[in-house]
Structure 1
Amino acid sequence: MERKYWVPALERANNVLLELAGQPSKLKLMDLSAATGINKSTMFSLLQTMETLNWVNKEKGDTYSLGSVFGIIGNAYFAGMNLVKQFEERANHSIERIGEAIQLARLEKGELVYLAKKEAATHVRLISEPGMRLPAYATAMGKVLLSELDNDQVLALYKEGGYQAFTPNTVQSGDELLKQLQVVRERGYAIDLEEIALGFCCIAVPVVDRNGSRIAAVSCSMSVHQWPQKQELAKQEIEQLAHALSATI
């Protein structure tokens, strides 16, 4: 990364956190100042801010340790890694039953981020790959995750007139999106009928954590020609897969 984009304050905070990770509950302000080369005045302000953000805890004896926010972040990080691993292990059974591609993704603001994909033994290949991002409103997985948000939160993610039309079937307004999301809430799953790519349909179901929050979604995509006869089987298999993945989180 070019240094002209560097944020020195973040680098200083990172250095402090690394010191505390290596010696929890042992270092005071003066120790941290000496170890990082950050002057006492700056270190005082840095620790005050980090304590307010729950990045660090000030303990008896004026020593410091990592704060609770890193427990939350760490759990989310490892849960995400475990989710992909569990998907890789469990998706094959569903693919054998359906004979179509299955995907895993999560929501980041208004975008759907693909985490994993398992292709079936067909000549059809999907455009999506792990790491790829697409507007959530144009996909089944995106809609099933957006449906957990309040309507105002959904509308705030997209500007009117800014809905990209991937096909003639792609949602084109906030009002239309909200109507679709209400149907998703009632059904508990979402479908995409040639909305992101012509010739393809998709059904998606949420993956939830122990608190019931939707942290990801799984989907099955297939050609429009296969949709009439495979839609119900795909729904059953994807629901079972989502339930199995939810149980591992």
Structure 2
Amino acid sequence: MAEDAKDPYHLASLSRGLEVLDCFTRRPEWGLAELSQHLGQNKATVFRVLHTLEQAGWLSKDAAGHYALGLRFHALGAAAMRREQLRWQALPPLQDLAEATGETVHVGILHDNAAVTVQIVEGTHAVRMHSAVGKRSPVHASAMGKALLAYLPDAEVEAMLAATGMERFTPATLATPAALREALHQVRQQGHALDEEELVPGLRCVAAPITDHTGRPTAALAVSAPKDRMGAARVADLIPRVKGAAARISRMLGAPSIAA
């Protein structure tokens, strides 16, 4: 605790809340008195934490005054399970596509206004795109990001762009909402997205959406390569391969097929 007190970034109130939540990994229900005794803290402090968590939906309280994990935790757990399911069910199709094309293949989701890579298989070429799980890409300047944005409501896209801005990374970056709207319209019409050196000079990318069990696009698969291996003929060859792999993952997640 002494070290925490010296940490200028440490939030004592959040730490107390997490300490309370951790108790629910040991028992499914707690009363105020027994939880206060277990933690060695006074009832008033523990009650404030419990009340705050209950108001936010992280805990629920029954008529007898016993607290249990609330519905928000169930939703969070379900989201985490879907992400893990996506990561590992996507791996065999990614491996097959990387082997067939020799290029780096990755899957990403929208998180905190960015396209975040959750699974990747490196290509076999000596010169190739290098990435990593957890890498964040701007949604307006990446094929993966555009494949994810294309199926969102317009208001949600506009709110995201208002929060992130539209930084210009290369001369080819789409730097206006109007240009991006046109690109997203093309993605919906064609079923795939392209990155024409919009994020990194000399790097091109093809991406396609992945749908979940509801049929809603919630992830994207992308293949990236240097532009000297991504001429028009190569891109034309890759598009059905990328869409086919994305459709395969979608079927594994219980969704209807996406036309390749």
Q: What TM-score comes out, normalization by structure 2 length?
A: 0.85
1:67 corresponds to = 70
Deviations 1:172-203 (A, max 9, x none): 11221122112222222211112122333211
CA RMSD of aligned residues (A): 2.4
Matching residue within 12, 18, 34 for 2:16: 12
2:243 corresponds to = 239
Asked whether the 8 Å contact 1:201–1:227 carries over to 2, the reply is no
Distance 1:161 1:9 in 2: 29
Paired residues in the alignment total 248
Q: CA deviation at 1:169?
A: 0.8
Paired AA for residue 19 in structure 1: C
Paired AA for residue 36 in structure 1: L
Distance 1:162 1:33 in 2: 46
Distance 1:215 1:10 in 2: 31
1:8-157 alignment to 2 at 5 Å? Answer: 8-25=12-29, 27-157=30-160
Residue 221 of structure 1 pairs with residue 224 of structure 2:
yes
Segments ≥4 residues shifted beyond 4 Å = 159-162
2:195 corresponds to = 192
Asked whether the 8 Å contact 1:169–1:193 carries over to 2, the reply is yes
Q: Which moved more, 1:150-159 or 1:202-211?
A: 150-159
Paired AA for residue 242 in structure 1: A
Q: CA deviation at 1:142?
A: 0.4
Asked whether the 8 Å contact 2:94–2:245 carries over to 1, the reply is yes
Change (3 A) 1:53 1:160: closer
Distance 2:112 2:187 in 1: 19
Paired AA for residue 223 in structure 2: C
Distance 2:98 2:59 in 1: 46
Distance 1:248 1:69 in 2: 26
Where does the alignment leave 5 or more consecutive residues of structure 1 unmatched? Answer: none
Distance 2:217 2:40 in 1: 43
Distance 2:252 2:62 in 1: 35
Change (3 A) 1:62 1:159: closer
Deviations 1:106-140 (A, max 9, x none): 22233222223222221222143322222111100
Matching residue within 191, 215, 221 for 1:212: 215
Q: CA deviation at 1:60?
A: 4.5
Q: CA deviation at 1:161?
A: 11
Does the residue aligned with 1:117 lie in a helix, a strand or coil? strand
Does the residue aligned with 1:220 lie in a helix, a strand or coil? strand
